[in-house]
Amino acid sequence: MESAIDFHNVSFTVQDKQILKMITGTFFKGKITTLVGPSGAGKTTLLKLCNGLLSPSAGQISINQQAIEQYEPTALRKQVGMALQAAPMITGTVFENLALPRTLQGKQLTQREAISYLHDVGLDDRFLNRTAQELSGGQQQKISIARTLINQSSILLLDEITSALDPQSVHDIESLITRINQKYQVTIIWITHNLRQALSIGHYTWVMMDGRLVESGDSSLLNAPTNPAVAQFIQGVKA
Ligand X SMILES: Nc1ncnc2c1ncn2[C@@H]1O[C@H](COP(=O)(O)OP(=O)(O)OP(=O)(O)O)[C@@H](O)[C@H]1O
Using CA atoms, how far apart are residues 179 and 213, in angstroms rounded to an integer? 28
Binding region for ligand X (CB under 6 A) out of 14-22, 132-140, 182-190, 199-207: 14-22
Determine which helix (DSSP H) or strand (DSSP E) holds 20, and give its type and residue range. strand 17-28
Of these, 14, 75, 86, 104, which contacts ligand X (CB under 6 A)? 14
The least CB distance from residue 45 to ligand X, in Å, is 3
Sole window of 41-49, 110-118, 140-148, 227-235 interacting with ligand X (rule: CB under 6 A) = 41-49
d(CA 224, CA 128) in angstroms, rounded, equals 46
- Are 33 and 205 within 8 A, CB to CB? yes
CB-CB contact of 108 with 116 (8 Å): no
Contact with ligand X (CB under 6 A): which of 9, 40, 105, 110? 40
Q: Does 86 bind ligand X (CB under 6 A)?
A: no
In degrees and rounded to multiples of 5, residue 238 shows phi and psi of -70, -35
Give the whole-angstrom CA distance, residue 197 versus residue 195. 5
Q: What is the three-class DSSP state of 83?
A: strand
Stretch that binds ligand X, among 24-32, 43-51, 105-113, 221-229 (CB under 6 A): 43-51
State yes or no: residue 44 binds ligand X (CB under 6 A): yes
Taking contact as CB under 6 A, which single stretch among the options 13-21, 69-77, 171-179, 195-203 is the one that binds ligand X?
Answer: 13-21
DSSP 131: B
Name which of 39 and 108 has its Cβ closer to ligand X. Answer: 39
Beta pairing class for 204-209 and 32-36: parallel
Residue selected from 23, 42, 148, 234 as contacting ligand X according to rule CB under 6 A? 42
The yes or no reply on residue 92 touching ligand X (CB under 6 A) is no
Query: Binding ligand X by CB under 6 A: which of 13, 18, 45, 60?
Result: 45
Q: How many whole angstroms separate alpha carbon 65 and alpha carbon 59? A: 15
41 lies in the binding site for ligand X (CB under 6 A): yes
By beta-carbon proximity to ligand X, the closer residue of 12 and 204 is 12
CA separation for the pair 221, 216 (Å, rounded) = 8
Using CB under 6 A as the binding rule, whether residue 163 contacts ligand X is answered as no
- Considering only 23, 32, 33, 43, the residue that binds ligand X (CB under 6 A) is 43
Q: Is position 19 an interface residue for ligand X (rule: CB under 6 A)?
A: yes
Question: Rounded to 5 degrees, what are φ and ψ at 211?
Answer: 80, 0
Determine the size of the site formed for ligand X (CB under 6 A).
11
Do 195 and 36 meet the contact criterion of CB atoms below 8 Å apart? yes
The binding site for ligand X (CB under 6 A) comprises 14, 17, 19, 37, 39-45
